[in-house]
Amino acid sequence: MSFHSFIPPRRTLMGPGPSDVYPNVLAALSRPTLGHLDPLFIGMMDELKALLQYAFQTRNPMTLAISAPGSAGMEACFVNLVEPGEKVIVCRNGVFGGRMLENIKRLGAEAVVVDTPWGRAVELDKVKAAISAHPDAKFLAFVHAETSTGALSDAKALCAMAREAGMLSIVDAVTSLGGVPVKVDEWGIDAIYSGSQKCLSCVPGLSPVSFSPAAVEKIKNRRSPVQSWFLDQSLVMGYWEGAGKRSYHHTAPVNALYALHEALVQLHSEGLEQSWQRHRQMHERLAEGLGALGLDFIVPQGERLPQLNTVTIPQGIDDAAVRATLLNDYNLEIGAGLGDFAGKAWRIGLMGYGARRENVTLCLAALAEVLNK
Amino acid sequence: MSFHSFIPPRRTLMGPGPSDVYPNVLAALSRPTLGHLDPLFIGMMDELKALLQYAFQTRNPMTLAISAPGSAGMEACFVNLVEPGEKVIVCRNGVFGGRMLENIKRLGAEAVVVDTPWGRAVELDKVKAAISAHPDAKFLAFVHAETSTGALSDAKALCAMAREAGMLSIVDAVTSLGGVPVKVDEWGIDAIYSGSQKCLSCVPGLSPVSFSPAAVEKIKNRRSPVQSWFLDQSLVMGYWEGAGKRSYHHTAPVNALYALHEALVQLHSEGLEQSWQRHRQMHERLAEGLGALGLDFIVPQGERLPQLNTVTIPQGIDDAAVRATLLNDYNLEIGAGLGDFAGKAWRIGLMGYGARRENVTLCLAALAEVLNK
């Protein structure tokens, strides 16, 4: 057998992520590898922590990037905070709420599921009722931006409910961070995880996380060890902690962390508010164009994610053929439906660097050609 | 606060890993990101699997790269194969055997520890005795190349013992793969994990793994779900499987996988045997030079890893000062001691692309200058 270097084409990535990566981030990725205990690398990690705190709008000292994708970030939050037998109220309005439930089950905790129809924001009344019915629950977990449906839930209100009931909140911000407001300290979020490959426009593979002082306290007072050695945050913090000597836990993904640093430098230089506004503006342009093409949004206005636009595939249209034509003839990727929405929806992402005018225009014009509109 | 792009210097990496990365691998890393379900990316994944099978010398269909560092690869092997209450004989002759033990404990399995002094290969007689004393053990786990000490154990003999006793073998090949012979099928290894950042000379962050048909059978017949959702290989395989439709599990670290593919293309093009020979030759040059400098190897000849040379720090020498001078004045990284060897040993890596003549010469000449020899 003979093998050759793999040379991918340049695609325009407008699916649910990975999103278009900033050119500067790709450049940062290929800089010379340093040792993970090199003082210069450690210095970069300190800056990276400050940048993550900016992105999350938090002063939490326990703010870092898990050396694995968002799913591992989710698992890190659950296995560190929740102990076997503890009760978690988990909101499910798409695939990722279901994945939270899977995490809760596998660690031997008890789940109370609050279901909301797919494509809708988590229903606050139902959550309120669940909290009243289960005052012994220790956690409220929900997905801020459901990547499978394009629905945005009211994280501020949900975290306030959790806090009032003395519960800790666990929030999935994989698709929200950088694209819509995420205010960890102001909203009182206790544990939050995100992904590098959505609105941060970094390459996939890392999961930014942050834990509030109350969450850290909960972790410190565990009765049982965290079931995962790799994700045990008390060990990981020995490496990320700024003061004093860094202790080796696992080999950090050095080059990927350069890339995340660069993506966050870009976000900081643009400014969070400006980034949120740009996502909104591009969404409005796209939404108007999709409407003109006769494509209907699944999520009601007011609950829509600007960065992930889910539309119903019109009757008689061959889902796979349209996506293949866009990919092969236009180098344009849009996302298929996932879970209940497989074959029924397209997911059009406007994430991070991907949320720019030329992408909106290309996507609308290419869709018009392929759909013969 | 103001933030800027991070521009690392070019170091010569001769520690215990990350090793010097092939320039082509850094170039591959920064190629345009594709979607993780893009047919072109899926095609690359098929090639990557074939290349991993070559590196591991196996036909195991379940051969892939975990989307996280070697520690996660270790955890993936243990949590998928071993169920709570099952007995594992674990050999400990350094830090990483101890980490195996930690994994076994955290999943609720029972460990029988076979200790060998640090700096020595795992003692076969002791293992034989443990197997006789514990015929109910289901697994034998050991580290092939102990990164903390530089000792190489006899994987072939250990796996034969396991097989004879009807036990499955779990092998840490983080530092061995690509640097010394690793023959999964010939030796009958059942589960093996490695790291991208050692003798493969890729960037850190990925863990190649392979499972034998017997290991796959064990996983399929589990009574309890795998405690980690992220590392559940039955789910991960739905994405890596070549035939038919790929199902989404987590977002693959696309660019890191380009890099691993490129690193393995390099290994395949050089040839495994040639790579092993180059590591031996460079080791011999280095060993001769270290001897001339009066530096003594910790590991007895015959048990030494060519790719990781551990020497005793001479009395009166300031460990940290020497390493800092090498790093700051020569851009040369050598490794500190780890665990029991902290402050007592240096670890000099000759891994993958790092195992070349100019590195050996630089290291010896720089050490001579710094040690005033």
Please tell me which of the candidates A47, A225, A327 has its beta carbon nearest to residue B106.
A225
| Residues A6, B227: C-beta atoms closer than 8 Å | no
| Residues B67, A15: C-beta atoms closer than 8 Å | no
Which B-chain residues 129-148 have CB contacts (< 8 A) with chain A? none
Q: How far is B55 from chain A (nearest CA, A)?
A: 13
Percent of chain A scoring above 90 in pLDDT: 94
Please tell me which of the candidates B11, B203, B264 has its beta carbon nearest to residue A255.
B203
Q: How far apart are the C-alpha atoms of A336 and A147, rounded to whole Å?
A: 11
Q: Which residues contact B187 (CB under 8 A, 6 or more apart)?
A: B155, B156, B159, B160
Q: Which residues contact B361 (CB under 8 A, 6 or more apart)?
A: none
DSSP string, A37-76: T-HHHHHHHHHHHHHHHHHHT---SEEEEESS-HHHHHHH
Cis check for the bond before B9: say yes or no (omega within 30 of 0).
Answer: no
| Residues B50, A1: C-beta atoms closer than 8 Å | yes
Q: Which residues contact B257 (CB under 8 A, 6 or more apart)?
A: B44, B45, B48, B65, B206
Res. A242: pLDDT tops 70: no
Whether the CB-CB separation of B250 and A69 falls below 8 Å is answered with: yes
| Chain A residues inside the 8 Å CB shell of B39 | 327
Provide the b/e sequence for A219-236 (b: ≥16 CB within 10 Å).
beeeeeebbbbbbbbebb
A21–chain B Cβ distance below 8 A for any pair = yes
| Residues A204, B40: C-beta atoms closer than 8 Å | no
A83–chain B Cβ distance below 8 A for any pair = no
| Residues B38, A258: C-beta atoms closer than 8 Å | no
Q: How far apart are the C-alpha atoms of B76 and B228, rounded to whole Å?
A: 8
Q: How far is A281 from chain B (nearest CA, A)?
A: 25
Q: How far is B270 from chain A (nearest CA, A)?
A: 12
What residue ranges in A264-337 does DSSP mark as E strands? 308-312, 332-336
| Residues B258, A10: C-beta atoms closer than 8 Å | no
pLDDT of residue A326: 98
Res. A173: pLDDT tops 70: yes
Q: How far is B275 from chain A (nearest CA, A)?
A: 17
Q: Which residues contact A287 (CB under 8 A, 6 or more apart)?
A: A297, A304, A309
Q: How far apart are the C-alpha atoms of B281 and B132, rounded to whole Å?
A: 39
pLDDT of residue A17: 95
CA-wise closest residue to B43 among A4, A67, A97: A4
**pLDDT band for position A204 (cuts 50, 70, 90):** very high
CA-wise closest residue to A262 among A148, A352, A183, A130: A352
A88: helix, strand or coil: strand
| Residues B230, A68: C-beta atoms closer than 8 Å | yes
| Residues A68, B71: C-beta atoms closer than 8 Å | no
Determine the residue among A5, A6, A249 to mutate to test chain B binding: the one whose Cβ has the most chain B Cβ atoms within 10 Å: A6
Q: How far apart are the C-alpha atoms of B354 and B339, rounded to whole Å?
A: 24
A59–chain B Cβ distance below 8 A for any pair = no
A247–chain B Cβ distance below 8 A for any pair = no
Q: Which residues contact A330 (CB under 8 A, 6 or more apart)?
A: A12, A362, A366
Q: Which residues contact B132 (CB under 8 A, 6 or more apart)?
A: none
Q: How far apart are the C-alpha atoms of A237 and B327, rounded to whole Å?
A: 25
Is A347 marked as binding a ligand?
yes
Highest CATH level, class, for A12-17+271-370 = alpha beta
Instruction: Classify the C-alpha dihedral B350-B352-B355-B359 as positive or negative.
Output: negative
A10: helix, strand or coil: coil
| Residues A35, B11: C-beta atoms closer than 8 Å | yes
CA-wise closest residue to B355 among B309, B302, B288: B309
**What ipTM is given for this predicted complex?**
0.97
Beta bridge partners of A17: none
Q: Which residues contact A294 (CB under 8 A, 6 or more apart)?
A: A314, A373
| Residues A29, B30: C-beta atoms closer than 8 Å | yes
Highest CATH level, class, for B12-17+272-370 = alpha beta
| Residues B38, A72: C-beta atoms closer than 8 Å | no
Q: How far is A209 from chain B (nearest CA, A)?
A: 16
Structure-token pair, residue B356: 């070349």
Structure confidence by residue, pLDDT tens digits, B271-304: 999 999 999 999 999 999 999 999 999 999 999 9
pLDDT in tens, chain B (373 residues): 789 999 999 999 999 999 999 999 999 999 999 999 999 999 999 999 999 999 999 999 999 999 999 999 999 999 999 999 999 999 999 999 999 999 999 999 999 999 999 999 999 999 999 999 999 999 999 999 999 999 999 999 999 999 999 999 999 999 999 999 999 999 999 999 999 999 999 999 999 999 999 999 999 999 999 999 999 998 988 788 755 567 789 999 999 999 999 999 999 999 999 999 999 999 999 999 999 999 999 999 999 999 999 999 999 999 999 999 999 999 999 999 998 899 999 999 999 999 999 999 999 999 999 999 8
Sequence ranges of the domains in chain A: 12-17+271-370, 23-268
Place of tokens 């002082």: A213
pLDDT of residue B243: 55
| Residues A8, B32: C-beta atoms closer than 8 Å | yes
With CA atoms as reference, the chain B residue closest to A204 would be B253
> What is the amino acid identity at position A46?
D
Report chain B's terminal Cα–Cα distance, integer Å. Answer: 46
Q: How far apart are the C-alpha atoms of A159 and A169, rounded to whole Å?
A: 6
B23–chain A Cβ distance below 8 A for any pair = no
Structure-token pair, residue B241: 């499987």
A44–chain B Cβ distance below 8 A for any pair = yes
DSSP string, A131-198: HHH-TT--EEEEESEETTTTEE--HHHHHHHHHHTTPEEEEE-TTTBTTB---HHHHT-SEEE--TTS
What residue ranges in chain B does DSSP mark as E strands? 12-14, 62-66, 87-92, 110-115, 139-143, 145-146, 151-152, 168-172, 191-193, 207-211, 308-312, 332-336, 345-349
| Residues A5, B41: C-beta atoms closer than 8 Å | no
Same fold, B12-17+272-370 and B23-268: no
Please tell me which of the candidates A13, A47, A74 has its beta carbon nearest to residue B35.
A13
Size of interface A-B (CB pairs under 8 A): 250
Res. A298: pLDDT tops 90: yes
Instruction: Classify the C-alpha dihedral B225-B231-B236-B237 as positive or negative.
Output: negative
Beta bridge partners of A308: A305, A349
Structure-token pair, residue A282: 């591009």
Q: Which residues contact A258 (CB under 8 A, 6 or more apart)?
A: A28, A29, A31, A44, B6, B8
pLDDT of residue A299: 98
| Residues A29, B29: C-beta atoms closer than 8 Å | yes
Phi, psi of B27 (to 5 degrees): -65, -45
- The better pLDDT of the pair A242, B256 is held by B256
Please tell me which of the candidates A8, A20, A253 has its beta carbon nearest to residue B205.
A253
Q: How many residues does chain B have?
A: 373
Highest CATH level, class, for B23-268 = alpha beta
**Could you tell me the CA-to-CA distances from A254 to A23, A24, A217, B204, B225 in Å, in that order?**
18, 16, 29, 6, 33
Q: How far apart are the C-alpha atoms of B116 and B125, rounded to whole Å?
A: 11
| Chain A residues inside the 8 Å CB shell of B338 | 248
B340–chain A Cβ distance below 8 A for any pair = no
With CA atoms as reference, the chain A residue closest to B1 would be A50
Structure-token pair, residue A285: 């342009």
pLDDT of residue B32: 98
| Residues A33, B13: C-beta atoms closer than 8 Å | yes
A349–chain B Cβ distance below 8 A for any pair = no
pLDDT of residue B40: 97
